[in-house]
Chain A
C-alpha cells in the first residue's frame, strides 16, 4: 500500500478501521519509517489532547457535584418544578362559584420562581398542599416565602433543614392521599413574553426597570395571575398530619371551608446582552390568601408549624414569629445574608454560591428579587436604581 494520509492514521489510532485495513497498515508500518514517525506524532498529540480534555471534563463534573452538594435533591426538585410549570394550564378551569368571603385578608407565602433561590419555609394550608399536590407546587414553583406586609425579616434555614424536610416527606410518601385532602381549583396561570412598550403600560403591576443603560434592553416574561381555591377536608388532612407525627391538628371548624390564594402576575426581566454573566429582576405584588369568614388563620398556622417534619431550628423561629400577620419572612439559607437598604426599604442580600448574589426587598406592596453574577456593590447600585 502507498503511504496513507493522517486522517487514515488517526482512524487507526481511534480503532475505526476495518480488520483488513488495519492489518495492511500495520504491515506497512514495519516497512515505512516515515509513516511510523507520523503515527507516533499523531499518537502523542492524541494523548496530549486526551489528558488535557479529560482533566477539563473531570473539573466540570466535579464542579457540578459541588453544586449538587450545596443544593442536593432540592435543586433537582426545583428544576423539575420549573419544567413542569409549563403544564400547569392543564388545570385551568373556568372561574365558577368564585365568590368567597374574604374578610380575613392575609398573605401566607410565596415561592419565587428562581432557579437558585433555594429555600423552604412553611406555613398555612399551602404547606400540606404544596408538598403533596403537583399542580400547586408547579404553579408556585421554587422558593418559598412566608409573607406579610409592612416589614421584612429573615428566617435562617440550613441545607440540612431542607433535606430533613424532604426526607421526611419522601419517607411518608405512601400515606399521602391527595384525592381526599380536599378540592382544589386553579384559575389562570401560564406565561407570555411582552415588549418593553407593553410592559410600560402593563396594568397588573407597575413594572419597574433598573435605570442602567449599560445593561441593554431586557427580555420580559410575564406570569399570568393565578388563583387557587382550596376546600379543605380536615379529616383527611389531619390524618396525613398525624401520619407525619403531628400533635396539633386542624380544628374541625375548618372542614369544608374554602380558601382562595391569589398569586398576582409576576414580571421577570432578563438581560441577554450581558456577555460575561447574567442579571435578572423579578417583581410581583404580594400574594394573598382570602380566608372564609369565621376562620382563624392562626389555627392553621399553629397546626402546621407544629408538624414534626419541620426541623426544630425552623420551628423555633416560626413559633416565635408572633408578628407573622404583618411581616414578610424571607428564608435565608445558612445565614449568608446581610440586611441592606434599597431606596429606603429593608432588603436582604444573599450569596447562594460564590459567584451569584441575590437581593430581595419589599417596597409599596411589591416584592422585588434580583439575581446576578455582578459583584455586591454593583448589584446594590442597580437595585437602588430600580424604579
Chain B
C-alpha cells in the first residue's frame, strides 16, 4: 500500500515534469546553443537546468521564465569559464589555434557563419554576451544585470562591440 501511494505520487510529479520538459526542452536548448555556440554544450546545460527544476522547483508559476533564467546563467557561466580556460591555454597552443577546427565548427558548412562564430568566440565574454542578448531581444536593464554594469553603460559597450565585430569580420574575410 505504501509503495503504491508512493508510486502514484511519483507518477503525478513526473507527469507534470514530463509535460514541462517536452514543452520547453527545445526552447531552452536553442537558446543555450545560441549563447554558447555549441549544441553539445547546450545539451548538457539544458539537462542541468531541468535537473535543477526537478530538484528544487520554483514557488511561482512562471516555469519558463525560471528555466530561462537558470539556463541563461548556466550558459553565461560556461562562456566565462571557457574564456578563462582559453586564456590559460593560449600560451601552450599559440599559433595552433587557427589551424585547429573543432567538430562543432566542421559541422558549419557556411563560411560566413563559421567566421561569425570565430569572431564571437574571440570577443571577451562581456561583449559577446551583450551582443548575443541584444540580438535575441533582451532590454538594456536585463543585459546590465547579467554583465553587471550600469544600465547606462550598456549602449557604450554595445556600440563598441558592434564596431569591433564588424572590423574583425572585414579583416577575417580577407585572410
* A interacts with B: yes
Find out whether the CB atom of A54 lies under 8 angstroms from the CB atom of B135. Answer: yes
Interface string of A28-45 (1 = CB under 8 A from B): 000000000000001001
Task: Answer whether residue A312 sits at the interface, using C-beta atoms and an 8 A cutoff.
Answer: no
Stretch of A86-94, A193-201, A211-219, A344-352 on the interface side: A86-94
Known contacts: A59-B108, A134-B10, A135-B10. The answer to whether A7 contacts B159 by CB under 8 A is yes
Q: Which residues of A contact B18 (CB under 8 A)?
A: 80
A178→B14 CA distance, assembly (Å): 14
Task: Answer whether residue B66 sits at the interface, using C-beta atoms and an 8 A cutoff.
Answer: no
Interface string of A230-257 (1 = CB under 8 A from B): 0000000000000000000000000000
Known contacts: A49-B131, A134-B14, A355-B103. The answer to whether A76 contacts B154 by CB under 8 A is no
Interface size class of B (residues with CB under 8 A): 35 or more
Task: Answer whether residue A53 sits at the interface, using C-beta atoms and an 8 A cutoff.
Answer: yes
What residue of chain B has the Cβ atom nearest to residue A138's Cβ?
Answer: B14
Task: Answer whether residue A55 sits at the interface, using C-beta atoms and an 8 A cutoff.
Answer: yes
Find out whether the CB atom of A80 lies under 8 angstroms from the CB atom of B22. Answer: yes
Find out whether the CB atom of B51 lies under 8 angstroms from the CB atom of A10. Answer: no
Task: Answer whether residue A179 sits at the interface, using C-beta atoms and an 8 A cutoff.
Answer: yes
Task: Answer whether residue A22 sits at the interface, using C-beta atoms and an 8 A cutoff.
Answer: no
A 122-181 contacts with B by CB, 8 A? 134-135, 178-179
**Which of B11, B18, B102, B155: most chain A Cβ within 10 A?**
B155
Find out whether the CB atom of B156 lies under 8 angstroms from the CB atom of A355. Answer: no
Stretch of A270-278, A289-297, A299-307 on the interface side: A270-278
A355→B50 CA distance, assembly (Å): 26
A115→B41 CA distance, assembly (Å): 13
Find out whether the CB atom of A90 lies under 8 angstroms from the CB atom of B159. Answer: no
Mostly helix, strand, loop or mixed at chain A's interface?
A: helix
B 40-62 contacts with A by CB, 8 A? 40, 43, 46-47, 50-51, 54-55
Q: Which residues of B contact A5 (CB under 8 A)?
A: 156
Task: Answer whether residue A323 sits at the interface, using C-beta atoms and an 8 A cutoff.
Answer: no
A314→B11 CA distance, assembly (Å): 30
Task: Answer whether residue A101 sits at the interface, using C-beta atoms and an 8 A cutoff.
Answer: no
Complex partner residue of A7 from B14, B110, B132, B155, CB under 8 angstroms: B155
Interface string of A1-25 (1 = CB under 8 A from B): 0000111111100101000000000
Q: Which residues of A contact B29 (CB under 8 A)?
A: 64
Q: Which residues of B contact A61 (CB under 8 A)?
A: 30, 33-34
Residues of B within 8 A of A (CB): 3-4, 6-8, 10-11, 14, 17-18, 21-22, 25-26, 29-30, 33-34, 37, 39-40, 43, 46-47, 50-51, 54-55, 89, 100, 102-103, 106-108, 110, 112-113, 116-117, 120, 131-132, 134-136, 139-140, 152-163, 165-166, 169
